[in-house]
Structure 1
C-alpha cells in the first residue's frame, strides 16, 4: 500500500505544483495587484499655453508688443467633473480646441486608482452613477484616445482629426482588461 501511495504522490504533487505556479503567474499578470500601491503622476501643460513668466523686456527703440488675443489660444468647448464607478475617481475633464484647430481631451487634477490596461475613451454613452454606470461605455460609439498616462495629475489626449465631436457626450477612464469604467464625466458644452 505504501508503494502505491509513493508512486501516485510524486507525479501528482509535481502536477499540482505546476498548475499552482502557472495559476499564480497568470493571476499576477491578469490582475497586476501591485498597481494598487503604485501611483503614476503626470503633469502636462495644455498645448499652446505659454508658461506663466514675465515677457522679455523690449528694447527702448522697439514699440511694446501686444500679447496674443485669447481667441487665438486654446478654447474649452465642453467640460465635466469625473464621478466614481469601479474605483474612487475625481478630477475635471475638458474638451479643448487648440489654436491650430486640433482638439484634445484634457484631464485636470485626475485622481484614480492605477490598474491594468486603463484607457481614455470619448463616448456617446450617458454617465450613470454607481454600478449602473460601470459597463455602459462599450455599448455604443466610442473613440479610444490611448492608454492612461498616469492615474494622477493633468494630461492631454489628442483627438483624431476625423472624430465628429457632436456625437460624443462623455469621457470614461476605461479598464479594457475587465470591461469596466473606473470613472466618467458627462461633457456639458460651455
Structure 2
C-alpha cells in the first residue's frame, strides 16, 4: 500500500499571515493609535507685537486762510480683536478658546489659546459656516457647507496661530473646528462671536 502524502498547510498559513500583516499595517496607518498616548505641545507667542504695528498718520496744519476742518482720526496702529469663542467637546474632550485678530494692514490671524484635546490622525483647523451644536449631532456638520482649511493642528495642547486667507469671509465663516479629516469628525468646536 503506497503512503499518501498529506497536502501541506504551510502555504495557506503563510497567505493568511501575509493578509493579516497587511491588514495590521493599514489599520495602524489609519488609526495611528500611538497618538492617543503622545501629546504634542505648542506655545507660540501672540501673533502681533509692537514691531508689527504701523505708525499713526499725521496731518499737516491747515493753510492760512483755508476753512477749518476737523482733522481725520488717526489711523489704527495696533491689532484689534474682532471675534472670540470657547471650545466645546465633540468626539474628544476639548477645552480652550479662540480669538481672531485683525492687524492695521487688514491681515487676520486666528489664535487658539490654552487648547487641550486628544491627539489624532490628520487633525486640521477649519473655519466653517456650520453651527456649533453640542453632542453627537454636532460631530460631523463642519464639512457640510463652506469651510476654509487653515492647516494642520500644530499641537493638541497649547497656544498657536493660524493665518486667515484674505478672501475668507468672516461674516459667513462663524465657527472653528478641530477637524479630523481622516474620519470626518470634529474633536471640538467654537462659535465665533463678534467683539
TM (norm. structure 1) is: 0.85
Structure 2: how far apart are the matches of 1:96 and 1:160? 13
CA deviation string 1:128-169 (max 9, x = no partner): 001011000000000000000000100000011111111111
Q: Which 4+ runs in 1 deviate beyond 2 A?
A: 1-4
Q: Which residue of 2 aligns with 1:183?
A: 188
Higher fraction of helix: 1
1:131 paired to 2:136: yes
Matching residue within 104, 125, 148 for 1:99: 104
Q: Rg bigger for which structure?
A: 2
Aligned-CA RMSD value: 1.9
Aligned residues of 1:85 and 1:182 also touching (Cα < 8 A): yes
Structure 2: how far apart are the matches of 1:156 and 1:50? 17
TM (norm. structure 2) is: 0.83
1:50, distance to aligned residue in structure 2 (A): 4.7
Unaligned runs of 5+ in 1: 52-68
1:154 paired to 2:159: yes
Aligned residues of 1:47 and 1:98 also touching (Cα < 8 A): no
Structure 1: how far apart are the matches of 2:90 and 2:122? 16
Structure 2: how far apart are the matches of 1:50 and 1:22? 54
Alignment of structure 1 residues 1-190 onto 2, 5 Å: 3-4=5-6, 6-7=7-8, 9-50=9-50, 71-190=76-195
